[in-house]
Chain A
Amino acid sequence: MKIFVCVKQIPDPNTVESKLDPATKRLVRTGVSLVLDPGDETTIAAAIKLRDSLGNSELTAISMGPASAQEALRRALAMGVDRAILISDSALAGSDVLGTARTLAAALKRENPDLIFCSTESTDGYTGMVPGAIAEFLGLPQLTFAREINVEGTKAVIKRVTQTGYEVVESPLPAVVTIASGSFEAIYPTMKGIMSARKKPFSQLSLSDLGLDPSQVGEAGAREQVLSIGKAEARAAGQIIKDEGNAAEIIADFLQRHQLL
């Protein structure tokens, strides 16, 4: 099977305090330390697990981004992905959801994938819309919030996380699947993995390779407009429960009220 995983390089959420540029109203991505989205690491782990259980399958990581995004893809390769594709073109700067999905879909289409993995959302922009848009561009079904995934014959079967548990959902292949964050155990690259990553196939594509017109993507093709940005409200102080014999009950009530039990 040909399995793909869409990944993104983002400002390191562990060391960089996210800042929005008041002029462009966009996240500041220059001059900060960039990493493979930690959410994507879970998604890659899910894809690797499936590839290994299926056998005779190839896993490709694909990303749209500036040249620096190579490093995020190299990390995916170090984790165990077989090959990588970077779509990089100056005309892609400023792409919104539509432009990003259009570009990724165009690259994926050339590859005839059987299964496309995406994270539910990125850890910087959090729109969560790119996977759905890719599915739309490719005319494929989309399975969302998977915490487990298997291939049975020509179907993908997932356990889809819900508020109270999970439901089993299936779709014919090819399909787009989004992985619920934290559902799969992380894979940490070994030093050998890092060293062999360099020897794995890595291709870089431009817009013309994909046959896309610059007017359809990037700043030029953006349909999304950020009207204003503002500060998030500070989180309210938590509630401290003093145990007078009934603390467990109070906590259980609280959890139930919020449908967490």
Chain B
Amino acid sequence: MEMPSHADEERRLLVAEIRRFVERAVLPAAQQLEHEDRYPSELVEELRRLGLFAATIPESYGGLGLDLLTYVQLIEELARGWMSLAGIVNTHILVAALITQYGTEEQRQRFLPVMAEGRRRGALCLSEAEAGSDVQAIRMTAMRDGESYLLNGAKLWVTNGVHARILAVLARTDPQAQPSYRGMSLFLVEKETPGLHVGRTFAKLGYKGVDTAELVFEEVRVPAANLLGGVEGQGFKQAMSGLEIGRLNVAARAVGLARAAFEDAIRYAQQRRTFGQPIAEHQAIQLKLADMYTEIEAARLLLHEAARKKDAGGRCDLETGMAKLFATEMCQRVTLEALRIHGGFGYVKEFNVERYYRDAPFMLIGEGTSEIQRLIIARQLLQRYALDEQPS
């Protein structure tokens, strides 16, 4: 068959182009933008021009129609340059995927071509001050009022909360529903809607340059036509399915960031000399390098396998959960090892390793903590390996 080789070839060219972009435009700028915690408007414009915001949107809606296996490799390249950039792409692609998969035809026509163009980008609003891992505890309400809904509440940790223009917001349409997730719905809310404003933004340990915001909704009137899929009560399931793509993205970021740390470390290890030879000659350093690279490769394989599974259709909590868990925990270890290899230089801001080390922990938390991933994985396993009959 000719198709797979064509797809592989195209994927390789696309990934190579993003790598070139990272080397030309991201690597020279990342360190300074990061230290200044500045939104990278110019780089975002370049991402837009390159087509990153159109990546997985179907061609029939103005996108590039790329599969997730390609997408995660593009994200790895971006994150190798600067992890934050991949975060700017993530919620946009995630919201576009929700609309593609669950939106009505009218919603797809209305939102996707605009999103593919990349000027109006997406953000996902799930967490609240008292609902993070426990999404079912959200308090935001959406009450039907004629041909619209009135949204009230506040969302926390909204990545791209300041710059995004199309928000997917999880709210309770039926506060009495039992279990509560059955009473939740997702709404597509345009940022300019009256009553919606940015409450505050957060200064963070890492993941800088990207806006992480609190969004406050006060009597925000949203047309009923913006209820994702047009049917109430589907929001929780829709959001959880969207998070699978978010988890692929975060796992890809972890692989990219870890690769950056490894590449810096192995270069430095051959330059830095102690006891009369490059430290790369010392077994203590070699053992680290070997483990780092092996773990990165393993994470990448898990990631690609999960992306393939998701491309093939259907839910894949188990695979995306394992990829996200392993890749992000691996990234935490690898960035720390890279820092150790750099010694004192790894701890100062002149070196990128210091940034990598601060960026890594974000991924242990974003799109579901490692603990939540383990629970997801375990639940899937217990279903898969369920005994035919309960032991007495």
Contacts and interface: CB of A to CB of B under 8 A. Distances in A.
B6 A191 contact: no
B45 interface: no
A198 B6 CA distance: 9
A19 B259 CA distance: 29
B21 A191 contact: no
Nearest to B49: A190
A198 B13 CA distance: 11
A188 interface: yes
* Interface band, chain B: 10 to 19
A190 B20 CA distance: 12
Contacts of A192: 51, 54, 64
Nearest to A191: B51
A189 B66 CA distance: 17
Interface in A166-219: 188-192, 194-195, 198
A195 B13 CA distance: 9
B10 A189 contact: no
B55 interface: yes
Contacts of B49: 188, 190
A54 to B, nearest CB: 24
Contacts of A194: 10, 13-14, 17
Contacts of A102: none
A74 interface: yes
A194 B17 CA distance: 9
Contacts of B51: 190-192
Chain A interface SS verdict (over half): helix
B50 interface: yes
B17 A189 contact: yes
Interface string B46-65: 00011110110000000010
Contacts of B17: 78, 188-189, 191, 194
A195 B6 contact: no
Contacts of B50: 188, 190-191
B56 to A, nearest CB: 11
A189 B13 CA distance: 11
Nearest to A75: B13
A223 B90 CA distance: 58
A191 B14 CA distance: 6
B156 to A, nearest CB: 33
Nearest to B48: A190
A195 B51 CA distance: 11
Interface string B1-41: 00000100010011001101100100000000000000000
A175 B66 CA distance: 42
B10 A195 contact: yes
A189 B10 CA distance: 13
A190 B13 CA distance: 11
A198 B12 CA distance: 13
Given A190-B50, A191-B51, A192-B64, A74 B13 contact: yes
A20 B201 CA distance: 57
Nearest to A197: B13
B21 A188 contact: yes
Which of A74, A189, A191, A194 is most buried by chain B, counting CB atoms within 10 A of its CB?
A191
A189 B17 CA distance: 8
B307 to A, nearest CB: 17
A78 B49 CA distance: 14
A223 to B, nearest CB: 38
A195 B50 CA distance: 12
A77 to B, nearest CB: 11
Nearest to A189: B17
Nearest to B65: A195
Contacts of B52: 191
A78 B21 CA distance: 15
A195 B10 CA distance: 7
A195 B64 contact: yes
B329 to A, nearest CB: 31
A86 to B, nearest CB: 16
A191 B51 CA distance: 6
Nearest to A14: B23
Nearest to B63: A192
Nearest to A198: B10
A188 B49 CA distance: 10
Contacts of B21: 188
A188 to B, nearest CB: 7
Interface in B347-390: none
What are the 8 tightest A-B residue pairs by CB atom distance, in nearest-first order?
A191-B51, A190-B51, A194-B13, A192-B51, A191-B14, A190-B50, A191-B64, A191-B50
19 contacts: A74-B13, A188-B17, A188-B21, A188-B49, A189-B17, A190-B49, A190-B50, A191-B14, A191-B50, A191-B51, A191-B52, A191-B55, A191-B64, A191-B66, A192-B54, A194-B13, A194-B14, A194-B17, A198-B6
Given A188-B21, A192-B54, A194-B13, 11 more contacts: A78-B17, A188-B49, A190-B51, A191-B18, A191-B50, A191-B51, A191-B54, A192-B64, A194-B14, A195-B14, A198-B10
